[in-house]
A and B are shown apart, each in its own frame.
Chain A
Amino acid sequence: MTALIALLRRDIQVALRIGGGALIGVLFFLIVVVLMPFAVGPDLALLKKLGPAILWLGALLASLLTLDRLFAADHDDGSLDLLTMSRTPLELVCLTKAVAHWLVAGLPLIVATPILGLLLNLDGDATMAVALTLLAGTPALTFTGMIGAALAVALRRGGLLLAVLVLPLSIPVLIFGVAASNAAVLEPAGFGAPLSILFALSLAGLVIGPLAAAASLRHGLD
């Protein structure tokens, strides 16, 4: 347990310090969403309609952008070798790294959402609903992305492979995320079901992600 807490602390510390890149994801998210009204034009009704989808796409791409370093950095400097040799199960190591990644890369996206909702003409309730769907769905993105990140390390291919592997796995999350958000904006009655599915996807990812990532890391050891 102390080992996992130490790993969590280290990953967060490294990400938050200079050069750590914790803010890259949220900055990218910000850029995508801020540019969108300029691209779509000043049609407020259209923006309101597209708003949830734009927020979700931004969050999905931002999380993809930061995920490829999840294991690559530790692989490059040899830390992964030592983590594999440690007395902590590799599955728990993967889980801890995913949680740390979500805390520094996923949580800021959710915190930024209320501010960005203003730019997309979403009212307060709708923005909070989108933020809630992101809270339910971004863990699933992190856990599925972690499998891709582990495979990318194991197969020695870079970020492109990650995108190709992870995007299909992220599509269900995107679909239900946007469905829940749209329901919140347009017809609040249909909000519960897609939100529950998002939570279910995150919980399934929580179980499968660490197992699959650890298996592919073990297989790729060399």
Chain B
Amino acid sequence: MGRAVMRLTGSQLRCVRGGREIFARLDFTADAGEPLAVVGANGAGKTSLLRLIAGLIAPAGGQVTFAGGDDDLSPAEQAHYLGHRDALKSALSVTENLAFWRAALGGEATDIDTALNAVGLDHIAQLPAAYLSAGQRRRLSIARLLAVKRPIWLLDEPTSSLDANGQAMMADLMRDHLAGGGVIVAATHLPLGIAARELRIGERVS
């Protein structure tokens, strides 16, 4: 394992979607231990930036680099992406959903029960995901971040549809991840619950 301090850098990023330029000449750095909160109006490109880092949108210019991780893997392969869509199959139970992603994502994994316990879903482990509430689905998605270890967390509105307890829990989990030397980039309108550096995008000043 490389013990160098991790740092996720984007330089001169440009994103074009549907023929429209969302942002251009965007630079950012996210250091281990300090979360980067991406803020901006609706449509400013917060989600696009996260998806671009995750390798789900090809950048029209610029590049994303990750230092201090595994050099054989791309930044996307070392990242967790928590998006609007929760990637859960309604027909499978809570445990089956989590077990699938734990196996499919690959890499260093933790015990499923531990992960479910941490997000407060251990009492409904056998329930089909179809019967979960929006907040519970969110918690199950968050459990995925814990079940498989990845240094980069890309969080899109991580606290949406979580109750007060859930938001506190998420803040604790993020704090633990950062304390372990992880990197967090979060797009959010709501307070994250932890101190974060802000990256404001979508303002037409420059």
Interface residues, chain A, CB within 8 Å of chain B?
2-3, 5-7, 9-10, 13-14, 17-20, 76-79, 81-88, 221-222
Q: Which of A6, A19, A77, A88 contacts B87 (CB 8 A)?
A: A77
Given that A13-B92, A19-B90, A85-B56 are contacting pairs, would A77 and B85 also be in contact in the complex, using a CB cutoff of 8 Å?
A: yes
B104–A88 CB distance below 8 A? yes
How far apart are the CA atoms of A2 and B148 in the complex, in Å? Answer: 14
Minimum C-beta distance from B110 to chain A (A): 15
Minimum C-beta distance from B74 to chain A (A): 9
Which residues between 92 and 128 of chain B lie within 8 Å of chain A, taking CB atoms?
92, 96, 99-101, 103-107
A13–B55 CB distance below 8 A? no
Given that A7-B104, A222-B57 are contacting pairs, would A87 and B87 also be in contact in the complex, using a CB cutoff of 8 Å?
A: no
B56–A17 CB distance below 8 A? no
Q: Which of A2, A5, A85, A222 contacts B79 (CB 8 A)?
A: A85
Minimum C-beta distance from A127 to chain B (A): 34
How many B residues face the partner with a CB closer than 8 A?
31
Minimum C-beta distance from A220 to chain B (A): 11
Shortest beta-carbon contacts, A-B, top 3: A78-B85, A6-B103, A17-B91
Given that A13-B92, A82-B101 are contacting pairs, would A88 and B106 also be in contact in the complex, using a CB cutoff of 8 Å?
A: yes
How far apart are the CA atoms of A88 and B55 in the complex, in Å? Answer: 14
Chain A residues with Cβ below 8 Å from B101 are 82
A85–B86 CB distance below 8 A? no
Q: Which of A3, A77, A222 contacts B106 (CB 8 A)?
A: A3
- Judged by a CB distance under 8 angstroms, whether B89 is at the interface is yes
How far apart are the CA atoms of A77 and B106 in the complex, in Å? Answer: 20
Chain B residues with Cβ below 8 Å from A88 are 104, 106
- Judged by a CB distance under 8 angstroms, whether B17 is at the interface is yes
Given that A10-B100, A222-B57 are contacting pairs, would A79 and B105 also be in contact in the complex, using a CB cutoff of 8 Å?
A: no
Given that A14-B89, A79-B87 are contacting pairs, would A87 and B58 also be in contact in the complex, using a CB cutoff of 8 Å?
A: no
Chain A residues with Cβ below 8 Å from B87 are 77-79, 81-82
- Judged by a CB distance under 8 angstroms, whether B153 is at the interface is no
Chain B 49-93 interface 0/1 with A at a Cβ cutoff of 8 Å (1 = within): 001001111100000000000000100110101011111111110
Show 22 A/B contacts (Cβ-Cβ < 8 Å), sorted by A: A2-B103, A2-B106, A6-B100, A13-B91, A14-B89, A14-B91, A14-B92, A18-B91, A77-B87, A77-B89, A78-B87, A79-B87, A81-B51, A82-B87, A83-B104, A85-B54, A85-B79, A86-B77, A87-B73, A87-B107, A221-B58, A222-B56
B57–A82 CB distance below 8 A? no
How far apart are the CA atoms of A222 and B18 in the complex, in Å? Answer: 10
How far apart are the CA atoms of A20 and B130 in the complex, in Å? Answer: 13
Chain A residues with Cβ below 8 Å from B84 are 78
Q: Which of B77, B85, B88, B96 contacts A85 (CB 8 A)?
A: B77
Minimum C-beta distance from B86 to chain A (A): 6
Chain A residues with Cβ below 8 Å from B92 are 10, 13-14, 17
B96–A84 CB distance below 8 A? no
Chain B residues with Cβ below 8 Å from A13 are 91-92, 96
